[in-house]
Amino acid sequence: MKRIKIAIIGAGSAQFSAGIIRDLCVTPSLHDVDITLMDVDAKRLNFILNMSKKLVKELNVDFQFSSTTDLAEALTGADFVINTAQDQGHSWYEAQREIGERHGYYRGGMLGQIYQTAFLLEIAQNVEKYCPEALLIQSSNPVFEGCTVIHRMTKVKTVGLCHGHYGYREVADVLGLEREHVTAKMFGFNHWIWLADFRYKGEDAYPILDRWIHEKAEEYWAKPRKYSDQQMSPAAIHQYQLLGLMPIGDTPRMLETPSMLGWFYNETLQAKQQWYGHQGGFDSEIGWAQYLEDLKEKTKAIEQAAVDESRKVTDFFEPVQSDEQIVPIIESIVCDKPRVFQVNIPNRGHLVEGFPEDIVVECEGLVSGAGIQGIHAGRLPSRVMAGAMNPRYIQCELVSEAICTGDYNAFRLIFLMDHATKSLQQVDNLLKDWMEDPRNRCIRNILKK
């Protein structure tokens, strides 16, 4: 079997890159691989390379590593491309939030999501150019819009991955259920999935959830938590009661999306604190600042372990397979080892009923040497479709239209649907400010002249 080349794009994230390499280390069937680390930050890249070498030495695995700041070099000859990059990092994302807030869009509206979608398409177009037969594993957000646009604008084989579906475990834990006796099926769009089937020891577990809401929820919510517990937050339970199915993973916080039923959860910091706990949840100015600080401290600790010969990188990355699906999916394809994973793939064959085949959906997929075959999920209940899925589908279509056509009016339409929009002039002022920012490279590149 020929050596497999895996390219990690945006490898400057110590936590993510080391986690992937650790997962490869504990997968013996994938020890004969070449790994290329790519990032635009040469200093961070060099650090990640040295840390990775220390990690594999601790785990007694002999991978072939290379690193580069050149995207074309990283992609050439790759069999698998893992894209975890966020263009220009958190600084540009935060700057876009500031631009949005200047024009009346709390927490920036959708600017960052739209920009990053254009960036993901740019990466995929380079994959199509330099390694057209590779599988692109898209792990940075927005997976829904990003993978949909990639599917429509390129011929690249792409799968989007996220760990939000593990949120059902949090539901089970809070309810006091033993995980080994819990089964769950959830599907929809990425960050927009619903617990369609929830069982404990073979029996419907929704009545257990209903009893918890009636008897224990208020006591649970009264206890302060970091970021709040979004999976079992007042917002999540309210959404369940409105729509009839439990939202899973990031779904409870993503219902903030403009023009949808959940705008009032996220209209102000005070609203966020009411629905997501004392910090206002993960996405509030308080919660997000806490997240960035935690990330900074964790990264600092990992960096110290990487350069301190007396410390081990494996103290932070235990040599066991993580919950990330990336490496197991690669193994299933390379070794023809059929397994079922939660994936984001085109809706061919109407895996999720009620939507066209060229939209990307999240559902189960059978992965093997034959590739990725989606497993039919079915149709969500009518109230979930009308109240959540259809509005979210429309938003994806608006973003896709803007990115695929580069038409200014398509960008206008996105914000004219936003609950925070009060006038057309407000939209035009926002877009002018955003599009003229020198950091807004990807959007300027696609705008029609």
In the residue annotation, 163 being an active-site residue is answered as yes
* Separation CA 222–CA 277 (nearest Å): 8
- Quote the longest CA-to-CA distance of the chain: 62
Neighbours of 228 (CB within 10 A): 27
Q: How far apart are the first and last CA of the chain?
A: 49
- Average pLDDT taken over every residue of the chain: 93
pLDDT in tens, 80-136: 999 999 999 889 999 999 999 999 999 888 999 999 999 999 999 999 999 999 999
Q: Which two tokens stand for residue 449?
A: 């002249």
- Does pLDDT of 150 surpass 70? yes
Measure the CA dihedral 353/358/360/364, to 10°: 50
- Does pLDDT of 210 surpass 70? yes
* Separation CA 358–CA 347 (nearest Å): 6
Helix (H) or strand (E) holding 356: none
Neighbours of 179 (CB within 10 A): 10
* Separation CA 43–CA 74 (nearest Å): 17
Buried b (16+ CB within 10 A) or exposed e, 436-446: ebeebebbeee
- Does pLDDT of 400 surpass 80? yes
Strands 64-68 and 33-38: parallel
**pLDDT above 70 coverage of the chain, percent:** 98
- Does pLDDT of 256 surpass 70? no
- Does pLDDT of 255 surpass 60? no
Catalytic residue among 23, 229, 250, 418: 250
Domains of the chain, earliest start first: 4-87+110-161+314-329 (3.40.50.720), 165-283 (no CATH)
Catalytic residue among 32, 34, 41, 163: 163
Neighbours of 4 (CB within 10 A): 16
pLDDT in tens, 32-80: 899 999 999 998 898 889 888 888 988 989 888 999 999 999 999 999 9
Q: What is the pLDDT of residue 260?
A: 62
